[in-house]
Amino acid sequence: MSSMLSSFSQWFVNPRRNPLARIHMLTVSSRLKKYGLRYDDLYDPYFDLDIKEALARLPQEVVDARIQRLKRAMDLSMKHQYLPDDLQALQTPFKSYLSDMLALVSAFADACLFHLTCSLHKQVFLHVNKLF
């Protein structure tokens, strides 16, 4: 049952196989291009500490470019304008700059949590053995 659910969820979110996912991806892409944003720019570093850490580990030029894109998008939004069509054509909204570092940080956090959990279990086990 879980493999069937897993295969369905993979089909459901894959834009190459599901026409609804393709339409959604094209809609998101068009909206991001209007403001000159990338999908990774939408991640909020105040919401997730892994994202905050991943952004801190990226090169400063990448972080500065992200901040500049966000500022430009806010400025365009406040003016109720979009990027000119020639600049929209140059945008790459799904070119990721954060996913590799985010995967590294998440793996490191999971490993730390695993070691912390193991050490806590060990301390509890030793404490229980001393009681008996």
pLDDT tens per residue across span 8-48: 778 777 888 889 889 999 999 999 999 999 999 999 999 98
Helices 19-35 and 60-78, packing angle to 10 deg: 90
In whole numbers, what is the pLDDT of the chain averaged over residues?
86
Q: Would the pLDDT of 121 be above 90?
A: no
CA distances from 117 to 20, 110, 120, 125, 131 (A): 41, 10, 5, 12, 21
The mean pLDDT value for 78-100 works out to 95
pLDDT computed for residue 56 by the predictor: 94
Give dist(CA 127, CA 129) in Å, integer.
5
Percent of the chain with pLDDT over 90: 61
Q: Is 108 helix (H, G, I), strand (E, B) or coil?
A: helix
Give dist(CA 74, CA 60) in Å, integer.
21
Better-scored residue on pLDDT, 128 or 69: 69
Give dist(CA 55, CA 98) in Å, integer.
7
Lowest pLDDT segment from 74-78, 91-95, 118-122, 128-132: 128-132
Q: Is the pTM of this model over 0.85?
A: no
Give dist(CA 56, CA 114) in Å, integer.
23
Percent of the chain with pLDDT over 70: 83
CA distances from 71 to 22, 50, 85, 88 (A): 29, 23, 19, 16
Per DSSP, the chain holds a count of helices (H) and strands (E) of 6, 0
pLDDT computed for residue 80 by the predictor: 97
